[in-house]
Structure 1
């Protein structure tokens, strides 16, 4: 992935090279007409759009175009969106928005458990989709907390967080997080003594215009805890504050 924020990449390209869109988007939708509608809308908004219509092709396309965002339908031929998302997460940190025709919460949470960053239930407005994507791409990168050393790193026992480089180490070993997982950890660690409500975390990470089930936060906190080997009853790094939400632990 390029070092620059995706929204800040030049649309004109290098000198003498063709212009290109600021953000690469992969739309994976088996309904061809719907994929075209979504793709056309994203192109009008300045995205560089690539389309795929089945799960097997989607993974190959993602490796080929290295997207910044993936709009991923749950019900796909070849392999479903859940499996596509699992495979994407082995090589890509692209933001993933899952599309589903099923409104039932279990399907939504299953989708999020494999690494999706957000979801939309069909039917939806293309304008709403673009708003969700823009909000994700503009997520704040908190770097203002007092740092334990000159490098600006944040240390919580054996856990070290580099907000600027977006790196995390546990016991000196790197920890692979999705963008959303890192964003949550960065927010919590910026003000470690503050107990954040789910709504505050939604506002900080997904944006104040985000609308949906706030238990989305719980799913991503669960992902973080698993990757940090932080069991809920131990809560070394992420603590549940009953009746409020979550705050950072000391690492002890």
Structure 2
């Protein structure tokens, strides 16, 4: 990031929506570039090296999912989809292709900014992480010692089954990102059969009972109905982790 101000590429062919997004970014002090077609967005992504891409799926020359796939062949830049497509299959297709988040139009400016801040926190955390930090994950009261295979909540060790441990490790290593059911199934079990989703929900429910202070109102693992799950980054977690390492 340049001068601590992220560079954001806004890919949107609708002038009114594009102006709304760029005006919002400008008032918050963000730097931005724009593109109105898939072809120009790929060129901008390659040449300008943005910190985040805000991407509409319905572009005039190519589908946004194809753009995500192309960019993912060379870049891990966070991609936030902002689209009028609200069907679950569209969200799943974009996230499975490599998008990090999905916001449905019409959207509120406050939610857009909140999603951006969450993505920026994740970028900051990953950039500031040292090699030795990879052995331990700290997020609020949750601590995972990858080397020892132990999980703690508020300094108390929690005993997890092998599947539960794999799930929490997968979510923690992708903190802030929405992981689809298909992605999780492939990573944990090596397949992605639709009939396995109910089993995944059962394992996720038992995991939540063990790590969430109030399982009915989870603060660590967020459900995206019909799509998948996301581990939320707890405010102040980076500072707590840094203090624990000091």
TM-score by length of 1: 0.58
- 1:30-179 correspondence runs (5 A): 30-139=13-122, 140-141=125-126, 152=132, 162=134
- Which residue of structure 2 aligns with residue 173 of structure 1? none
Distance 1:193 1:82, change over 3 A: same
Match of 2:175, SS? helix
Deviation at 1:244, TM superposition (A): 2.9
CA distance in 2, matches of 1:72, 1:191: 40
Q: Which segments of 5 or more consecutive residues in structure 1 lack a partner in the other structure?
A: 1-5, 12-21, 145-150, 154-161, 165-185, 208-213, 234-239, 248-252
Distance 1:130 1:111, change over 3 A: same
Match of 2:23, SS? helix
Match of 1:243, SS? helix
Distance 1:220 1:31, change over 3 A: same
Is residue 16 of structure 2 the alignment partner of residue 23 of structure 1?
no
Contact 1:143 1:190 in 2 (8 A): no
Distance 1:134 1:60, change over 3 A: same
CA distance in 2, matches of 1:48, 1:60: 18
Normalized per residue, the structure richer in helix is 2
How many corresponding residue pairs? 176
- Which residue of structure 2 aligns with residue 206 of structure 1? 176
Q: Which segments of 5 or more consecutive residues in structure 2 lack a partner in the other structure?
A: 137-142, 152-163, 193-198, 208-246
Aligned-residue CA RMSD (Å): 3.8
CA distance in 1, matches of 2:88, 2:105: 14
Deviation at 1:47, TM superposition (A): 1.3
